[in-house]
């Protein structure tokens, strides 16, 4: 395009030289150099406008390509399956807890029976007291086991989570556009949220075991008092 403009400018050059007359005859045809030069300059200006329009179109095409890249999504949702599996797995473990579990209604229904505040004026027979004591011991033992299983499950998931986060970081660094980078960042945050949920589950399991053990200790102290009272009365 630039070479064409330069050639047209050279064609228009004779217009700057003085001519003996505005109109010259050549073979019966009237030749007007000034008019010829003006026509050439108009053609040059028209070509310049075309070149500007071509450049503008090229910029628009580039802008559309950038927009398309920015709107391109990640090929797969890495975090979605991981998070769903982890949370469901932890929930299943907690729902399988033996004895008094995590439900509010269940606790309100069974706690007073398993851990009575007192055994009344007339305590049950020793065999009944011993059976209740053993049931409370099994409750505490299973609660500590549930805590260990929950912790072990969360630790098993750490390696998978670490690989997933590393892959998402790599994808964010090589993202085709802004949307892919944002999606990778959102998935990393989602996995971090899932890990916080696992930590919450581990804390719940730990505090459950600790609370049941403390309740067992209080119930055993009351059982001992009741047995002593029954022995002295006999």
Residues 58 and 82 in one domain: no
Residues 188 and 214 in one domain: yes
Whether the model pTM is above 0.95: no
DSSP structure class, residue 24: E
Residues 93 and 149 in one domain: yes
State pLDDT tens for residues 17-49: 444 444 444 455 566 677 777 877 887 787 888
Residues 106 and 169 in one domain: yes
User: For residue 178, what are its two tokens?
Assistant: 């802004």
CA–CA distance, 103 with 138 (Å, rounded to integer): 19
Q: Is 41 exposed, middle or buried (0-12, 13-18, 19+ CB in 10 A)?
A: middle
Residues 191 and 207 in one domain: yes
State pLDDT tens for residues 79-112: 677 777 777 888 887 887 777 888 878 887 888 8
Residues 153 and 44 in one domain: no
Residues 160 and 143 in one domain: yes
Q: Which of 156, 158, 168 is nearest to 79 (CA)?
A: 168
Q: Which of 214, 224, 200, 197 is nearest to 143 (CA)?
A: 214
How far separated are the first and last CA of the chain, in Å rounded? 119
Residues 83 and 104 in one domain: yes
User: How many domains does the chain contain in total?
Assistant: 2
Boundaries of domain holding 155: 78-233
């Amino acid at each position: 395009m630039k070479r064409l403009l330069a050639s047209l400018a050279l064609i228009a050059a004779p217009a700057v030289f003085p001519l003996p007359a505005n109109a010259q005859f050549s073979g019966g045809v009237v030749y007007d150099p000034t008019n010829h030069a003006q026509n050439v300059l108009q053609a040059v200006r028209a070509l310049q406008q075309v070149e500007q329009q071509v450049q503008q179109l090229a910029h628009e095409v580039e802008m559309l390509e950038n927009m398309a890249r920015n709107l391109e999504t990640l090929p797969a949702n890495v975090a979605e399956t991981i998070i769903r599996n982890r949370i469901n797995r932890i929930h299943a473990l907690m729902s399988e807890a033996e004895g008094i579990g995590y439900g509010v209604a269940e606790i309100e229904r069974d706690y007073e029976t398993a851990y009575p505040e007192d055994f009344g004026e007339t305590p049950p027979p020793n065999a009944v007291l011993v059976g209740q004591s053993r049931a409370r011991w099994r409750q505490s033992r299973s609660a500590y086991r549930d805590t260990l299983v929950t912790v072990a499950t969360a630790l098993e998931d750490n390696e998978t989570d670490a690989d997933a986060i590393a892959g998402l970081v790599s994808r964010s660094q090589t993202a085709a556009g802004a949307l892919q980078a944002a999606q990778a960042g959102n998935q990393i945050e989602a996995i971090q949220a899932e890990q916080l949920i696992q930590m919450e589950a581990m804390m719940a399991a730990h505090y459950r075991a600790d609370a049941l053990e403390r309740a067992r200790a209080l119930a055993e102290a009351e059982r001992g008092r009741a047995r002593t009272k029954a022995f002295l009365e006999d």
